[in-house]
Structure 1
Amino acid sequence: MTRVAFFSPMKSPDSPVPSGDREMARNLIRAIGAQGDQVDLISQLRIYDKAGDAEVQQNLRAAAEAEAQRLIAEMPADTDLWVTYHNYYKAPDLLGPKVCAALGIPYLQLESTRATSRLNGPWSAFAQSAHDACDAAAVIYYHTANDLITLKRERYGNQDLVELPPFLPITTLPPASSGNGPMLTVGMMRKGDKLASYHVLAQALSYLNGDWALNIAGDGPARADVEALMAPFGAKVRFLGQLDRDALQDAYANASIMVWPGVNEAYGMVYLEAQASGVAVLAQDRPGVRDVLAPTDYPSIDSGAKGFATRLQNLLDDPALRRSIGAKARAYVTHRHLMPTATERFWRAARPLIGGTA
């Protein structure tokens, strides 16, 4: 059995605050340990500077130095491997490279980004630390083709860059959706990109003809803004609030279309969840998002809300098309985005580093 130290500098997998980042970290821990290997969440330290504040960064460096020294002294002696999830300029890994160098442990990264444009400005020192941490990794697993561009350009030495597509922490698919219920949106409600997606969605809904209904699963500090956007549609739009896993799966099981524009989404786990249930998905054709969507026609960003609405109207008017897209999506997720595939891809690159077999 291999023992793996796992660290997520931006947000601990144990955080009480829901997010796609937290869910992906939890999924990765499950995937890495799926063959019986032990995965230790090695530190709860959060190294994250949202605003580019020099004093915050200085304090985080001091905390990281103390934590690194603690780990060097106290980490289990049989730890074989260190894995860091989501090293980037606002949340650099200030622990892994130092601890691994001191203890002679292989160091790997998952979903890391290199932001050379941030080497100047308020995050410049943190960006350099994130860049240096990338250089220290023997393997970097990337989730999207967009991430690979800079990772490949800035690759350090003979570092391995290994695709590990986003995945669901399941081995078999849930039952297929009936496809007969309302449309479904699943999205957190906060300012910025999430609210921008709700704006596109509301504009698109204004172009629709005929009878339609939309359920919205999600909550957050911008809920009042989202409710205001949806107010013109009255009872056609129903707010479900934040759903637990079982309730959300029930929503997928009856949805006709999963509709979410995906403004600046890294990729979007909700797309995988919907497709696993055989729900036709409508998103804009965006980097990151396209890495988790089964191949079909998606409206371009340039076509705007009207182009989005045109495709949505086509799906509403054609149940056979929805069923066909949903069936292809289930096959796509089975082939590429379930946990067994992720586990195999991870260990194929990791085991040789600790003297095992691929």
Structure 2
Amino acid sequence: MTCVAFYAPMKSPHSVVPSGDREMARNLMQAIGQRDGVDVDLVSELKIYDKAGDEARQADLRQQAEAEVDRLIRDLPRDTELWVTYHNYYKAPDLIGPRVCAALDIPYVQIESTRAYSRLTGPWSGFAQAAHDACDAARVIFYLTANDLITLERERAGTQTLVHFPPFLPAVRLPEASTLSGPMLATGMMREGDKLRSYEIIAETLAHLTGDWQLDIAGDGPARAQVEALMAPYGSRVRFLGQLDRAALDKTYRAASLFLWPGVNEAFGMVYLEAQAHGLPVVAQDRPGVRDVLLGDGYPATEVGTKALASLVMSLLHDPGHRATWGANAREMIANTHLRPAATARFWSAVAPHLKGSR
């Protein structure tokens, strides 16, 4: 049995608060554990996250991390052959894994780690340095987007290996394809900041559309009133579906004609993978992270700007053949690169030479 220690400093996979980070952590544990003879253990649920740059909070989190390091050095099973940390960055550095691994001689790897040199001064300076130190300790760093690779490659530590790890869906096969005959679909949490800005861009885009169109919006949150106000000028053309469970959301994907989500500051966005798995053309802005998970080769994200988004929407709505071709190509891309079996194979191919038991 190969025992793997797993840790996510920003948010535990067992958190009761839904988020993309929680889902990705859960998916990673499943993907890593899909190999025969592998046991993945969530070894700590200590949340090390400072949203505001509060030095007192950072000091308190460091004290908690010290206690957790002592506990794990004492109690971690001695047959642990690998440690995996998900999402190490300046607001949520891994203060635990590198020290435990050094003490117990366990190979240490990271998935989705970033180096933010602009944060080495200012209120997060200590946490940013800790995140860099954790990066340096990793034998393998799996990066999800080309944007993350820039600084990881520039500051690569020693013989450290950097491996592209495309985001993936927790499925072994594609879902049922969309009929591409229903309303457009947008889905995203309704909260202040980047999500609300994406909804603002959608509202601005709709103003440029002509003809008979419909938009369904799946999602809810504290900024729902603002989103509803943004869409009020379009009356019944925009329908709010609320927060949908997985079965209901899949049904909505299967009926939509295209997926519209600008993607303001999205790390990558699992909804893009879900939409494309159902064969939906995706209309999004050409942004770092977003472009990494969208179909290329003639079907790129459009340039940043609402008129460009509207032009692409109109071309898709008026050409069913274009939608069908785009959708079929998107499904092929997801099947080849963004399902769980591909993620499992890519992970173990990279880390197998570093396993403690293989040395």
Query: Same fold by TM-score, threshold 0.5 exceeded?
Result: yes
- Residue 234 of structure 1 is matched in structure 2 by 235
What CA distance in whole angstroms lies between the structure 2 residues aligned with 1:73 and 1:186? Answer: 45
- Residue 33 of structure 2 is matched in structure 1 by 33
- Residue 178 of structure 1 is matched in structure 2 by 179
Question: Residues 169-198 of structure 1: CA distance to partner in whole angstroms, max 9, x if unpaired?
Answer: 111101111111111101111111111111
Contact kept? 2:217, 2:241, Cα under 8 Å: yes
What CA distance in whole angstroms lies between the structure 2 residues aligned with 1:285 and 1:228? Answer: 26
What CA distance in whole angstroms lies between the structure 1 residues aligned with 2:225 and 2:59? Answer: 36
What CA distance in whole angstroms lies between the structure 1 residues aligned with 2:267 and 2:34? Answer: 25
What CA distance in whole angstroms lies between the structure 2 residues aligned with 1:110 and 1:272? Answer: 19
Aligned length: 355
- Residue 247 of structure 1 is matched in structure 2 by 248
Gaps of 5+ in 2: none
3-state DSSP of counterpart to 1:86: strand
Contact kept? 2:81, 2:357, Cα under 8 Å: no
Question: Residues 77-98 of structure 1: CA distance to partner in whole angstroms, max 9, x if unpaired?
Answer: 2111100000000000001001
- Residue 7 of structure 2 is matched in structure 1 by 7
TM-score, with structure 2 as normaliser:
0.97
- Residue 67 of structure 1 is matched in structure 2 by 68
- Residue 54 of structure 1 is matched in structure 2 by 55
Aligned-residue sequence identity (percent) comes to 65
Which runs of structure 2 are paired with 1:236-315 in the superposition (5 Å)? Answer: 236-295=237-296, 296-301=299-304, 304-315=305-316
What CA distance in whole angstroms lies between the structure 2 residues aligned with 1:346 and 1:317? Answer: 42
In the TM superposition, structure 1's runs of 4+ consecutive aligned residues that sit over 3 Å from their partners are none
Deviation at 1:327, TM superposition (A): 0.3
The one-letter code of the counterpart of 1:328 is: N
What CA distance in whole angstroms lies between the structure 1 residues aligned with 2:93 and 2:242? Answer: 33
Gaps of 5+ in 1: none
The one-letter code of the counterpart of 1:299 is: T
3-state DSSP of counterpart to 1:184: strand
- Residue 19 of structure 1 is matched in structure 2 by 19
Deviation at 1:298, TM superposition (A): 2.5
What CA distance in whole angstroms lies between the structure 2 residues aligned with 1:19 and 1:213? Answer: 28
- Greater CA drift, 121-130 or 228-237: 228-237
What CA distance in whole angstroms lies between the structure 1 residues aligned with 2:72 and 2:161? Answer: 26
Q: In the alignment, is residue 118 of structure 1 matched against residue 123 of structure 2?
A: no
What CA distance in whole angstroms lies between the structure 1 residues aligned with 2:223 and 2:100? Answer: 40
The one-letter code of the counterpart of 2:22 is: R
- Residue 215 of structure 2 is matched in structure 1 by 214
Give the 3 Å change call, closer, same or farther, for CA 95–89 of structure 1 in structure 2: same
Give the 3 Å change call, closer, same or farther, for CA 35–66 of structure 1 in structure 2: same
3-state DSSP of counterpart to 1:111: strand
The one-letter code of the counterpart of 2:155 is: E
TM-score, with structure 1 as normaliser:
0.97
What CA distance in whole angstroms lies between the structure 2 residues aligned with 1:114 and 1:218? Answer: 32
